[in-house]
Amino acid sequence: MQLLDHVSIGVPDLDVARPFYDAIMTALGARKIYDRRDALDYGERCSASDTQSTCLIVYLDSSCIEENKRHWCFKAL
């Protein structure tokens, strides 16, 4: 079952996060769609003719990071 179209994750330092997400997404076979100063995008965006694709967006977010219970798990088969 395909549940998500996309997920966005904010990080305080994109230059620190980039090597981690590049390695994880490469290992999972997700291509990088774009690499900008303020955001990274991996996977494939859905369209009207392709509703099965999904993507991960990692964006620069300088707001305070507080303790929370959110977490992300990537499935590798």
Q: Where are the domains of the chain?
A: 6-60
- State residue 1's pLDDT score: 57
In degrees and rounded to multiples of 5, residue 70 shows phi and psi of: -75, 145
Strand order in the sheet with 39-43: 6-11, 55-60, 39-43, 32-35
pLDDT digits (tens, 9 = 90+) for 61-74: 988 878 777 777 77
pLDDT digits (tens, 9 = 90+) for 3-60: 777 889 999 999 999 999 999 999 989 999 999 999 999 998 767 777 777 889 999 9
Give the C-alpha separation, 62 to 64, whole Å. Answer: 7
Output the pTM of the full model: 0.79
Give the C-alpha separation, 57 to 41, whole Å. Answer: 4
The CATH code belonging to domain 6-60 is: 3.30.720
